[in-house]
Structure 1
Amino acid sequence: MAKKRQWVKPQARPNSDINVTPLVDVVLVLLIIFMVLTPLLEKDIEVRVPETEVENTPPETNDQLVVQLTEQGAIKINSETVGGQEDYVNRLKRVLAAKPRDERVVFFMAEDKANYGALIVVMDGAKTAGAVVLGMATEDLPQGAVVPGQEGAAPAPEAPAPTP
Structure 2
Amino acid sequence: MPLSFTVGGATLAEEDLATHIVGAVKNIFATMIFISDIEDRYPLDKPVSHFTCSISGMVGLGGDCTGMVGIHIPEELAREATASMLGMEMDEIEGDGDVHDAMGELTNMLAGEVKMIFSARGMSVCLSTPSVISGREYSVEVVSSGAAVVVPFDRGEHRFLATLQLEGS
Structure showing the higher strand proportion among its residues: 2
Please indicate, yes or no, whether the TM-score normalized by the shorter chain is above 0.5. no
**Larger radius of gyration between Structure 1 and Structure 2:** 1
TM-score, structure 1 normalization:
0.26
- With normalisation by structure 2, the TM-score equals 0.26
